[in-house]
Structure 1
């Protein structure tokens, strides 16, 4: 399912206008992305948890030349599925 399909599903199941369903889905994604950008944890009970992992800098190698390269520290979003969703997938 992609974003358009999610909007369509919300539109058909809720009775909202399509434009309103699109606003709801967009607002949800914007809120999650905004919270992650602030370093906050986002938990949707029974579905998943999003949080930001911090990675330290390290020395890597350029595979072409073999030269050492310093890799800058970075932050990446991380998704962890909830136990209830795992159980639902394995019924």
Structure 2
């Protein structure tokens, strides 16, 4: 039987973080966990799972897209890492 309750905020944050970390491991990219995992960094791109915000080092504003999938797509485009997106979606 499937649990159909909505994800809690913490579960959503953990899911976003886990998606990025899992993908980075699949394509052998270093992903730094900063601030106890509240900030993930690959190269010059930064991801904040709690709000889905994506920034670039030195940029004056955040990227327009948000979320783990958008972060993965940006990193993949920059790094040429086009491994399939095997994202664990929990609903």
TM-score interval w.r.t. the shorter chain?
under 0.3
* Larger radius of gyration between Structure 1 and Structure 2: 1
- After TM superposition, the score normalised by the length of structure 2 is 0.28
More helix by share: 1
More strand by share: 1
